[in-house]
Amino acid sequence: MLIALLPGDGIGPEVVEQAVRVLNVVTDKLTYETAPVGGAAYKAQGHPLPAATLDLAKRADAILFGAVGDPDCDKLERHLRPEQAILGLRKELALFANLRPAKLFPELADASALRPEVATQIDMVIVRELNGDVYFGEKGMRTTAAGLREGYDIMSYDEGEVRRIARVGFETAQARNGKLCSVDKANVLETSQLWRDVVIEMSADFPDVELSHMYVDNCAMQLVRNPGQFDVIVTGNLFGDILSDQASMCAGSIGMLPSASLDDKQKGLYEPIHGSAPDIAGHGKANPLATILSAAMMLRYSLGLPDEADRIEAAVAKALAGGARSPDLGGTMTTAQMGDAVLAVL
């Protein structure tokens, strides 16, 4: 099976390298092709998502992605910025369902931003819509009648887009504890009012799922106050982006949260939820566990290798139990040493 390796920028290549080491221990069924993406691709080839990179992503059975983002590129025109590459991949491959599991490994209760007795309750999946919302709506700069510069990004969802992500939310809840919380801002936004109406309509098809609704501002607060109340959250692109970064810190570190971005079949792009972390890039300080856990999700969701996925997740837990700690977890181990710790268990 062919894996497209898209390491990207900053810490992306550092963490992807460790994930590949781990994959190679648990299976010999994978072959890899690497392609540039993001700022690295812009610098080498003049575009953040070159045609050959997109072609590889389309041809591959699954994609393992690091991160994109490069301060050198911040002033480029929007379509040339590194972040356009990940948005482009998500759209071109119709990866509309982003699963972001947030689970505290019990050994990390001390690393959580929450009190240990609260932190240990965290075990949820955030199902984030990934093809719509403000990231993909009409956007631009214009001048107001008063001569002021005005930026705008249109937020919109049609009911088909809501329905297909809500279905993933309901089915994810069915496969877990049967509890789904839909997060929106229906008290203010038309988009959210439609979102809520459609989710309620769909709930008739899922009588075994206990559905609740929450405004996103309250959800941000509840994630810190009482995260144990959540099992599956389904939400839009922007809210899911923000809430998952917050959930990661409740679960110990942003360096711990993996993700799967899926289409309606088996195709998937797998990446840590974090970015390219330019502040620590090149210093061996990045925690590779989010990417290693993303590789495990890839084995499970796209490649039909669930036992190998289990082995990786168990090895991460055991490495943590054995004291493996990168700086974000309060330790001193380097990126490669964290990879070594997982390999040693395997």
Ligand X SMILES: NC(=O)C1=CN([C@@H]2O[C@H](COP(=O)(O)OP(=O)(O)OC[C@H]3O[C@@H](n4cnc5c(N)ncnc54)[C@H](O)[C@@H]3O)[C@@H](O)[C@H]2O)C=CC1
For helices 306-321 and 335-345, the axis angle rounded to 10 degrees is 110
CB under 8 Å, gap of 24 or more: what pairs does 156-160 form?
156/132, 156/191, 157/129, 157/132, 157/133, 157/191, 157/194, 157/195, 157/236, 159/194, 159/198
Least distance between Mg ion and beta carbon 244 (Å):
7
Which of 42, 103, 157, 185 does the annotation list as catalytic?
185
| Pairwise CA distance, residues 157 & 167, whole Å | 15
Unique residue bearing structure tokens 């509309």: 96
Total length of the chain? 346
Assess 279 for contact with ligand X (CB under 6 A). yes
With beta carbons less than 8 A apart as the criterion, state whether 307 and 326 touch: no
Which residue lies nearer to ligand X by CB, 15 or 30? 15
| Pairwise CA distance, residues 264 & 92, whole Å | 13
Which of 110, 197, 217, 307 does the annotation list as catalytic?
217
Assess 273 for contact with ligand COI (CB under 6 A). yes
Give CA angle at 125 (119, 128), nearest 5°. 125
Q: Considering CB distances under 5 to 8 angstroms, the limit depending on partner class, which of ligand X, ligand COI, Mg ion, none binds residue 87?
A: ligand COI
235: helix, coil or strand?
strand
Assess 129 for contact with Mg ion (CB under 5 A). no
Which DSSP string do the residues of 95-123 spell out, in sequence order? --EEEEEEE--GGGTTTSSS-HHHHTT-E
Least distance between ligand X and beta carbon 48 (Å):
11
Which residue lies nearer to ligand COI by CB, 184 or 241? 241
CA-based end-to-end distance of the chain:
22
Residues in contact with ligand X, counted by CB under 6 A, come to a total of: 21
Chosen residue from 70, 83, 313, 328 binding ligand COI by CB under 6 A: 83
The reply to whether 75 belongs to the active site is no
Which residue lies nearer to Mg ion by CB, 290 or 324? 290
Which of 241, 267, 301, 328 does the annotation list as catalytic?
241
Least distance between ligand X and beta carbon 148 (Å):
26
Chosen residue from 129, 241, 271, 313 binding Mg ion by CB under 5 A: 241
Shortest-Cβ-distance residue relative to ligand COI: 83
The reply to whether 185 belongs to the active site is yes
Provide the mask over 54-93, with x wherever binding to ligand X is found by CB under 6 A and - wherever it is not.
-------------xxx-------------x--x-------
Separation in Å, CA 43 to CA 49, 66, 80: 11, 17, 10
The reply to whether 184 belongs to the active site is no
Q: Is 241 annotated as a binding residue?
A: yes
φ/ψ of residue 341, rounded to 5 = -65, -40
Assess 246 for contact with ligand X (CB under 6 A). no
Part in contact with ligand X (CB under 6 A); list of ranges 108-116, 167-175, 208-216, 284-292: 284-292
Report how far Cα 167 is from the mean position of its chain's Cα atoms. Answer: 19
Residues in contact with ligand COI, counted by CB under 6 A, come to a total of: 5
| Pairwise CA distance, residues 223 & 226, whole Å | 6
Q: Considering CB distances under 5 to 8 angstroms, the limit depending on partner class, which of ligand COI, Mg ion, ligand X, none binds residue 169?
A: none
| Pairwise CA distance, residues 56 & 79, whole Å | 20
Q: Which residues on adjacent β-strands are paired with residue 125?
A: 101, 232
Part in contact with ligand COI (CB under 6 A); list of ranges 4-12, 79-87, 139-147, 289-297: 79-87
Least distance between ligand COI and beta carbon 224 (Å):
20
Numbered residues of the known binding site: 90, 100, 128, 217, 241, 245, 275-287
List interacting residues with ligand COI (CB under 6 A): 83, 86-87, 241, 273
Q: Which residues bind Mg ion (CB under 5 A)?
A: 241
Query: What are the residue numbers of the active site?
Result: 135, 185, 217, 241, 245
List residues near ligand X by CB under 6 A. Answer: 11, 15, 67-69, 83, 86, 254-255, 271, 274-280, 286-287, 290, 328
